[in-house]
Every structure is written in C-alpha cells, then in structure tokens.
Amino acid sequence: MANHFSALKRARQTEKRTGRNRANTSRLRTTLRDLREGLTKGEKKSAEEVFRQTVSGLDKAVQKGVLHKNTASRYKSRLNARLNALK
C-alpha cells in the first residue's frame, strides 16, 4: 500500500477515473448492442431511432476519451451501411 500522501491521492484518483471510464465504456457498449439487435430483427423504424442515439453515444465516447475519433467514425460508417441495407 502507498505510504506517501501523494501516492494515496493518486490511488484515490485512479479509483474514481476507473469507475468513470468503466461506466462510459459500458454505456457505449449497451447502445451498440441495442442497435445491432435492432438491425438483426430488421425493424427499420426503430433501428433508425436507435441509430441516432448510438451516433450520439459514439460522439460522447470520443469526447470523453473512451474511443478514438477514427474508430467512432468507422463504427458509424459500418452501422449506417447496415441500416441502409435494410431499406
């Protein structure tokens, strides 16, 4: 265990940040899972609504440092292609 005050503080900060990052990652994965399930069911209307929410979630993940912007862009592109294939 840490003995210095600075090391104790860093341990507390790490715990907070780990929890925050885990929550953000979980939220992102949930939205992606919801969209993928909607796409496999083939419900176009609901998939379009969930797609908007998923794009918003991806942008927030980029903002919070969970994903790289190019990774989010790739996800959006591929999911949009699958959504257009339903039409």
Q: What is the CATH number of the domain that holds 30?
A: 1.20.58.110
Domain that holds residue 30: 5-86
Q: Which of 39, 74, 71, 72 is nearest to 57 (CA)?
A: 72
Instruction: Convert the pLDDT of each residue in 31-78 to its tens digit.
Output: 999 999 999 998 888 899 999 999 999 999 999 999 999 999 999 999
pLDDT greater than 80 at residue 25 = yes
Amino acid 56: pLDDT: 96
User: What DSSP state is assigned to residue 42?
Assistant: T
Give mean pLDDT, residues 13-29: 96
Q: What is the count of structural domains for the chain?
A: 1
